[in-house]
Structure 1
Amino acid sequence: MNRPSLNDLTAFVAVATRRSFRHAADELGMAPSTLSHAMRALEDRMGVRLLNRTTRSVSPTEAGFELLGRLQPALATLDDALDSIATFRGSVAGNVRINVPRIAATLLVREVLPLMAERFPSVVVDIVVEGRLVDIVSAGFDAGVRLAGSIHKDMVAVPLGAAISFICVASPAYLERFGEPGSPEELESHRCIGHRMPSGKLYRWEFERAGQELTIEVGGPVILDDEELMVDAAINDLGIAYVASPAAETALAEGRLRQILTAWAPAPEGVAVYYPGHRAVPPALRAFLDVVKTLRK
């Protein structure tokens, strides 16, 4: 068999993971027709069909899935090997564009960026704060940050800091006036600070206790789409807020808020930086990931 080129194999991984010639072609910087022709030539060279094509979609065949599963870690290892010599070429430089939710942006600014500035002063970290889930590849980002459970399986995920808990908080003055709910069901008779998601829908509060999961629709005097504002609203006695624990940690430590319904708090969720596993990792992104990994030590 005539061995295919590395470029052809990289292109195949892009098509197989993106499930689109157009999106893969945009990523690779080539015309979709050229990419399609290259994949036909690759299949002819290997003597096996790798992709199922229709007028609207493309997906790997059984052989394609087998090849994809073996190529992805191999290409990642190759990228690591090439990036390992970056220090011999001089200092790492470049831009890293990251898409993050606000709570993760705070973590990056407090813990990651100071280390980046110290170790890689020639790397510019461009952080775009956004609540909605985006396709980081088509949107032009090098990486994103999200809850680990929401990251697509074809991405490489690197854990970022400690897991995050989602908690209910209220001010001491509010609890003194209206009492403390003993169960999630009692929230229906309380003033709750609503959370509007980027999709426009209102978030339903999630609880868990001894394996029992419960989802509650709440109501109250205000609806917000920013967790820091939700915390401020709770501090100002407007009601009970349901937020990620880092957003409320300062107010809790200072006694301006109290955590309630602690027995019903769902299990903490991990947060991770993620990036495409089928493309070369630029040295600037590699430097950023190396700093992120130090937070786990």
Structure 2
Amino acid sequence: MSGPGLPELTALAAIVSHRSFRKAADDLGLSPSTLSHMMRALERDMGVRLLNRTTRSVAPTEAGARLVARLQPLLRDIDAALAEVDNFRSLPAGTLRINSSEIAARMLLKSTVPAFLARYPQVSLDLVTEGRLVDIVAEGFDAGIRLGEAVPQDMVAVRFGGATRFIAVASPTYLATRKIPRVPDDLRNHTCIRFRLPSGKPYRWEFEKHGQEISIDVPGVLTLDHMELMAEAAVAGLGVAYISDKSAQSYIEQGALVSLLEDWCPAIPGLFLYYPGHRLVPPALRAFIDVLKETN
């Protein structure tokens, strides 16, 4: 019996992982027929069946499953070693996938993204914005961007953009016929533009002053799930909104919105880029982090 080589063992692990010859072949850059031939040769050389095949599916035999279970840590170590060496010689290339809130994406598009793409033209940046907080590892992202309080504790986090605040705002038109709120409880007598969390629950507005924390389930007939839409609704005079200072800044400068309860809206840690800490940082992500630090 001749000993199997690394390409054959890597191919076996890929087939078992994908449960598909076609997907494994795509992953390895081979044709399905070549991959099938490699597996037949591997089984012949080892003298044991490793895969059960049908016209529709493929699954490991008990022997195949045990072999792959022992191989996977070794293959990961080999990949890590090769990637570490490759990092010394290769420029960032390929696709960098980042999951972000829309507010953060807007910030990045002002300076970070243009500078990054100009410096690393061989990298394609896939910036996905959505309200829900996703598992970046399970959904195939290299990194995520969220407020510090939303970053999972098992991630490496890189802060950028400075502190941020959530503030209550309303239009001069709305306030013209109403008493300006002086303390958070005054909001109970106002029409508020409520915010729906990705879970579907309404967000309770949170205020703090001199260590006193207040959380209010504000009244309102309009509920939205998008910070920019809340700002626009407030500009239209539909009520008081509680939004990030970055979303409100341009409207406040234009006089379209007025900031309320200023002393009840302290700064909080701002945005963080985060990524798994249990693996090597891909060159494209490391390059993006460097540009992020330079431009924020």
Aligned residue number for residue 226 of structure 1? 226
Aligned residue number for residue 279 of structure 1? 279
Q: How many Å separate the matches in 2 of 1:155 and 1:288?
A: 17
Per-residue CA deviations over 1:76-126 (Å, capped at 9, x if unaligned) read 9x999757624xx4x432111111111111111112111112211221110
For residue 278 of structure 1, report the CA deviation from its aligned partner: 1.0
Letter in 2 for 1:150: A
**8 Å contact from structure 1 (residues 169, 257) kept in 2:** yes
Letter in 2 for 1:262: E
Q: 1:94 to 1:221 in 2, by over 3 A?
A: same
Q: Secondary structure at the match of 2:177?
A: helix
Q: Secondary structure at the match of 2:278?
A: coil
For residue 33 of structure 1, report the CA deviation from its aligned partner: 5.7
Per-residue CA deviations over 1:154-193 (Å, capped at 9, x if unaligned) read 2111112122211110001111111210110010010000
Give me the TM-score of the superposition, normalised by structure 1: 0.71
**8 Å contact from structure 1 (residues 83, 283) kept in 2:** no
Aligned residue number for residue 88 of structure 2? 85
Aligned residue number for residue 146 of structure 2? 146
Count of matched residue positions in the alignment of Structure 1 and Structure 2: 231
The worse-fitting range, judged by mean Cα deviation, of 105-114 and 30-39 is: 30-39
Identity %: 46
Matched, 1:170 2:173: no
**8 Å contact from structure 1 (residues 100, 128) kept in 2:** yes
Q: How many Å separate the matches in 1 of 2:126 and 2:95?
A: 7
Q: Secondary structure at the match of 1:169?
A: strand
Q: How many Å separate the matches in 2 of 1:266 and 1:139?
A: 34
Q: Which has the larger radius of gyration?
A: 2
Task: Give me the CA root mean square deviation.
Answer: 2.7
Letter in 1 for 2:88: I
What does residue range 1-297 of structure 1 map to in structure 2 within 5 Å?
A: 37=70, 82=85, 85-86=88-89, 89=90, 91-296=91-296
Q: Secondary structure at the match of 2:168?
A: strand
Q: 1:36 to 1:151 in 2, by over 3 A?
A: farther
Q: Which runs of 5+ in 1 are unaligned?
A: 1-21, 23-28, 42-75
Letter in 2 for 1:265: C
Q: 1:277 to 1:40 in 2, by over 3 A?
A: closer
Q: How many Å separate the matches in 1 of 2:85 and 2:182?
A: 57
Q: How many Å separate the matches in 2 of 1:39 and 1:96?
A: 25
Q: How many Å separate the matches in 2 of 1:254 and 1:214?
A: 30
For residue 286 of structure 1, report the CA deviation from its aligned partner: 1.5
Q: 1:82 to 1:260 in 2, by over 3 A?
A: farther
Q: Secondary structure at the match of 1:177?
A: coil
